[in-house]
Chains A and B, each alone.
Chain A
Amino acid sequence: MLFSSLLFLFAFLPIVLLLYYLLPARWRNPALLVFNLFFYGWGEPVYVLLMLVSILADYILGIGIEKYRNKKVLAKCLVAVSAVWNLGLLFFFKYFVFTAESLQAVGLFRDLPLLSVSLPIGISFYTFQKLSYIIDVYRGTCEGQKNFVDFSVFVTLFPQLIAGPILQYKDLAAQLKSRIYGVAKMREGIRCFTVGLCKKVLLANSIGELWNYYRQLETGQLSVLGAWIGLLAFGFQIYFDFSGYSDMAVGLGKMLGFDFKMNFNYPYISRSVTEFWRRWHISLSSWFRDYLYIPLGGNRKGRARWMINIFIVWAATGIWHGAHVGFLLWGLYYALLLMAEKLWLLKRLEKMPSWFCHIYACFFMIVGWAIFALPDMADKKGYWGALTGLNGAAVYEAGDLFQLAGYALLFVILILASLPWGKQLFEKFFVPKKGRGRIWEMVGSLFETVCICAGLLLATAYLVDSTYNPFLYFRF
């Protein structure tokens, strides 16, 4: 089930909220677990069992590690079992076919069967969540969870189950036991959720149509301008899609009394690639930082090891996004940029005017999206040719002007929505603070109310329209 579906909005969510708040606090976690499983089972009716089994395994392992924490060797073994188990499952479902195909392509293991397994939704997310728990218990940063229901709730929490953010157990342990509820938090949740819903349904889906248009153009029809417009559209689509989903998760969490960390922090205002990765998909980069980069030694083991560590972490980040050489290349592309920045570029960028840094960062982000969006470089030769102008594509086509005119206003909205200006303005004038008249607060609240209502209404309309499919049998 997606948050951006009518079923979720007008059936699942109302029922969940109603039951959740009718129940006494101690019954809320068991109820939540049932909701989570239903939510997951709706999209993955079979793999829900796989998830449960894998939760049970880590639940037992976690308790074991806690118990034998002092016996280093045994504890380590248990961590290794969990890592092999979790990463093994992830590997089997996500990377097995890819690996087998790659091996066979170079002539190895020719009789390896190419099993056609479908990827269980959210496995990349919940695998990482469970690993963070196991490692934290081993490190002693948190206690093992004795309550199976609470542990399962942590892994399966429906707001973040299928698209993140990746929660770390240590951030959530206290909230699993008791949460703070309140109408102010509800309001924050509603705002966050509505913003996310609008980002996904109104912005990401709309600009996604433009990307789709360009993506499927045949080589001869795609101009240089068109290829870049298409890529820009993709950059906006993926940001608003993903961050919208994260915002909805944060909002839903708040409605249920949880506090999750924000997953995106205006990545497109970055002035360097380093900054971009501090602002983009924060929960994933922090996971890799805490559980891979720092254990590898981070930047404390000399320059060569530092570079190797960056290389390893970003190769992993790339491949986490999908089993494809293209994603690996995408990760390595960022590894190279980050190395260059860390070694000498950042210092020089600091001396440059900020507009230059923005252009620099934007350029490399967009090129990054080209690698990400068109991982099949051999298949997409035409697109790459048009991007670089090497295949003799026209500078522009009539269709580009038409698309630009049709999407101009949306682009303006997308740019504004990528900037923190709106939020800053609102906070400057309307958020209540000492010495400010009540009238401003009221105007602010009124504005917020109107925006939330309009946003919900519009998003609903766009969702209803998704099956609008007039049948014109009299078409002949």
Chain B
Amino acid sequence: MKGRKSDYVILGLFLLFLYGIAAANLFTKDRLFSQMENRMLAQRPKAELKTVLSGKFMEEYETYMTDQFVARDAFIRIKSLGERTLGKKINNGVYYGEDGYLAEQLQDLDEKQLDKNMEALKRFLDNTDKKVYFALIPGSVEINRDRFFPFLPEPDQKEVIRELYKQTEETDVVCVDMYGALWERREEALFYRTDHHWTSLGAYYGYRAFMEAKKEAAVALSDYTETVRSETFYGTLYSKTGAFWIAPDRITTYVEEDGIQVERVEGKTTADGLLYDESRLEKKDKYSMFLGGNQPLAILRTDNWDAPKLLVIRDSYFDSMAPFLTPHYSEIYIVDFRYNRADVSQFMEETGIDEVFICYSLANFHQDANFGLVLK
């Protein structure tokens, strides 16, 4: 059968595609780690009689081949762009919004965990005579709702937080109206576009809401100068979607580091920490610049030696809010109870805590299984 010219062109291109990629796969070195996905990639599995017969080897080999595929990151971006072109509004649990905004889906609240955590909180409140503040921070998907598709299958976070606050009515806890403070300023950039955290500006308004709850004056925003720490921050939401067309975020800070000592305590060892750990800006997770990321215990000491001492039970949202609190306290103990299973009441007694601040994003609070363990 004699072919037309175009037959040869198509055949040629097909073979080029097949053999080109096959050869490229053969000759590119396997990677251990994917920067883009922030995880270890699958490595070539060893064939053993047992794994071959059970088919496990084959499965692993296919995963290995996909993980180590040549130009993997580029292909993932092509897919991401394809989905975008199709008008998909969600990818990997992250919504696409206007102006390059991404927001994490909250969707289903873990009601059981939420109940447990509220029970734990109430128990804790019953057993302490210290002043306790409780704050739940709504997510970007709620505050920035005007930037997203109008009919998201999302719970009403305002209502959820109101309900949870209401459950504490019988106690002496002071609930901080984070929602109102953020909602009022929703036109401003309160959340990162590519990360699930709030920006330092968002954290400042959170701080103002906290001070309002304490009935004390907050430092005015105009008293601070904004310092740009990074212009190339691509957060967790960016990683999840691979939405490479979105511009990076900017990380800024307001509070100066002078006069604030940071101590990182891990077990029995104590090391100097930083309020803003700029070495973290070299890494993927630039948000961990605030206090240098998760750690069992961080202690902020200020020159206000006569001010009270604060214990914070928190998630990572608090890390960027912490600097704003330094003018009002002598010592701030920031505990991460995932790494630190100390007994809270004993800890409070030993350190002479005056006030407790429980500060969580709703997104973490409803599924944090450690919370109940901490406040037992």
Asked whether A190 is an interface residue with its Cβ less than 8 Å from the other chain, the reply is yes
How far apart are the CA atoms of A453 and B285 in the complex, in Å?
Answer: 37
Set of chain A residues within 8 Å of B228, measured between Cβ atoms = none
Distance in angstroms from B215 CB to nearest chain A CB is 31
Set of chain B residues within 8 Å of A406, measured between Cβ atoms = 87-90
Asked whether A471 is an interface residue with its Cβ less than 8 Å from the other chain, the reply is yes
Set of chain B residues within 8 Å of A465, measured between Cβ atoms = 75-76, 79-80
Asked whether A456 is an interface residue with its Cβ less than 8 Å from the other chain, the reply is yes
- In the complex, residue of chain B having the shortest beta-carbon distance to the beta carbon of A452: B10
Contact residue among A182, A187, A453, A460 (Cβ-Cβ distance under 8 Å from B75): A460
Set of chain A residues within 8 Å of B7, measured between Cβ atoms = 183-184, 186-187
Asked whether A422 is an interface residue with its Cβ less than 8 Å from the other chain, the reply is no
Contact residue among A13, A45, A453 (Cβ-Cβ distance under 8 Å from B53): A45
Complex contact B75–A461 (CB within 8 A): yes
Q: Contacting chain A: which of B56-64, B170-178, B322-330, B341-349?
A: B56-64
Asked whether B242 is an interface residue with its Cβ less than 8 Å from the other chain, the reply is yes
Complex contact A185–B1 (CB within 8 A): yes
Asked whether B4 is an interface residue with its Cβ less than 8 Å from the other chain, the reply is yes
Asked whether A408 is an interface residue with its Cβ less than 8 Å from the other chain, the reply is yes
Asked whether B315 is an interface residue with its Cβ less than 8 Å from the other chain, the reply is yes
Contact residue among B38, B92, B151, B336 (Cβ-Cβ distance under 8 Å from A402): B151
Interface hits, B1-38 → A, CB 8 Å: 1-4, 6-11, 13-15, 17-19, 21-22, 25, 36-38
Complex contact A5–B52 (CB within 8 A): no
Given contacts A11-B22, A43-B58, A467-B66, is CB(A461)–CB(B13) below 8 Å?
no
Complex contact B62–A7 (CB within 8 A): yes
Set of chain A residues within 8 Å of B62, measured between Cβ atoms = 5-7
Given contacts A452-B14, A471-B38, is CB(A409)–CB(B87) below 8 Å?
yes
Complex contact B10–A448 (CB within 8 A): yes
Complex contact A445–B6 (CB within 8 A): yes
Set of chain B residues within 8 Å of A405, measured between Cβ atoms = 87, 89, 149, 151
Distance in angstroms from A221 CB to nearest chain B CB is 8
Given contacts A398-B151, A410-B86, A445-B6, is CB(A190)–CB(B14) below 8 Å?
yes
Interface hits, A204-239 → B, CB 8 Å: 206
How far apart are the CA atoms of A449 and B69 in the complex, in Å?
Answer: 24
Set of chain A residues within 8 Å of B131, measured between Cβ atoms = none
Asked whether B293 is an interface residue with its Cβ less than 8 Å from the other chain, the reply is yes
Set of chain A residues within 8 Å of B10, measured between Cβ atoms = 187, 190-191, 445, 448-449, 452
Asked whether B357 is an interface residue with its Cβ less than 8 Å from the other chain, the reply is no
Complex contact A470–B239 (CB within 8 A): yes
Distance in angstroms from B28 CB to nearest chain A CB is 12
Q: For the side of the interface on A, what is the size category?
A: 35 or more
Asked whether A401 is an interface residue with its Cβ less than 8 Å from the other chain, the reply is yes
Set of chain B residues within 8 Å of A185, measured between Cβ atoms = 1
Complex contact A464–B153 (CB within 8 A): no
Interface hits, A7-63 → B, CB 8 Å: 7, 9-11, 13-14, 17, 42-46
Asked whether B294 is an interface residue with its Cβ less than 8 Å from the other chain, the reply is yes
- In the complex, residue of chain A having the shortest beta-carbon distance to the beta carbon of B288: A474
Binary A-proximity of B145-161 (CB < 8 A = 1, otherwise 0): 00001011100000000
Set of chain B residues within 8 Å of A11, measured between Cβ atoms = 22, 25, 65
How far apart are the CA atoms of A62 and B61 in the complex, in Å?
Answer: 39
Complex contact A43–B18 (CB within 8 A): no
Main secondary structure on B side of the interface with A: helix
Distance in angstroms from A326 CB to nearest chain B CB is 28
Interface hits, B43-90 → A, CB 8 Å: 52-55, 58, 61-63, 65-67, 69, 72, 75-76, 78-80, 82, 86-90
Complex contact B55–A45 (CB within 8 A): yes
Set of chain A residues within 8 Å of B3, measured between Cβ atoms = 182-184, 187
Set of chain A residues within 8 Å of B8, measured between Cβ atoms = 183
Complex contact A474–B242 (CB within 8 A): no
Set of chain B residues within 8 Å of A476, measured between Cβ atoms = 294, 315-316, 336, 338, 364
Set of chain A residues within 8 Å of B117, measured between Cβ atoms = none
How far apart are the CA atoms of A206 and B37 in the complex, in Å?
Answer: 22
How far apart are the CA atoms of A402 and B95 in the complex, in Å?
Answer: 11
How far apart are the CA atoms of A359 and B79 in the complex, in Å?
Answer: 35
Distance in angstroms from B372 CB to nearest chain A CB is 16
Asked whether A424 is an interface residue with its Cβ less than 8 Å from the other chain, the reply is no
Set of chain A residues within 8 Å of B55, measured between Cβ atoms = 43-45
Set of chain A residues within 8 Å of B285, measured between Cβ atoms = 474
How far apart are the CA atoms of A442 and B10 in the complex, in Å?
Answer: 12
Contact residue among B18, B36, B66 (Cβ-Cβ distance under 8 Å from A14): B18
Asked whether B287 is an interface residue with its Cβ less than 8 Å from the other chain, the reply is yes
Given contacts A11-B65, A186-B7, is CB(A474)–CB(B287) below 8 Å?
yes
Given contacts A46-B53, A465-B79, A474-B287, is CB(A184)–CB(B1) below 8 Å?
yes
Distance in angstroms from B12 CB to nearest chain A CB is 10
Set of chain A residues within 8 Å of B36, measured between Cβ atoms = 470
Asked whether B199 is an interface residue with its Cβ less than 8 Å from the other chain, the reply is no
Contact residue among B4, B17, B37, B86 (Cβ-Cβ distance under 8 Å from A468): B37
Distance in angstroms from A231 CB to nearest chain B CB is 19
Binary A-proximity of B363-376 (CB < 8 A = 1, otherwise 0): 01000000000000
- In the complex, residue of chain A having the shortest beta-carbon distance to the beta carbon of B317: A476
Distance in angstroms from A386 CB to nearest chain B CB is 15
- In the complex, residue of chain B having the shortest beta-carbon distance to the beta carbon of A5: B62
Distance in angstroms from B261 CB to nearest chain A CB is 25
- In the complex, residue of chain A having the shortest beta-carbon distance to the beta carbon of B66: A467
Set of chain A residues within 8 Å of B87, measured between Cβ atoms = 405-406, 408-410
How far apart are the CA atoms of A402 and B236 in the complex, in Å?
Answer: 23
A sample of 26 inter-chain contacts (CB < 8 A) reads: A6-B69, A14-B22, A46-B53, A184-B1, A187-B11, A191-B10, A399-B153, A402-B89, A402-B152, A405-B87, A405-B89, A406-B90, A410-B86, A445-B9, A448-B10, A449-B6, A460-B21, A461-B78, A462-B82, A464-B76, A468-B242, A469-B37, A470-B37, A470-B240, A472-B38, A476-B338
Other A-B contacts than A6-B69, A43-B58, A183-B8, 20 sampled, CB-CB below 8 A, are A14-B18, A45-B52, A184-B2, A190-B10, A399-B151, A401-B151, A462-B82, A464-B69, A469-B37, A470-B36, A470-B38, A470-B39, A470-B92, A471-B38, A471-B39, A472-B239, A474-B285, A474-B288, A474-B294, A474-B316
Listed in ascending order, the chain B residues whose CB lies under 8 Å from chain A are 1-4, 6-11, 13-15, 17-19, 21-22, 25, 36-39, 42, 52-55, 58, 61-63, 65-67, 69, 72, 75-76, 78-80, 82, 86-90, 92, 149, 151-153, 236, 239-240, 242, 285, 287-288, 293-294, 315-316, 336, 338, 364
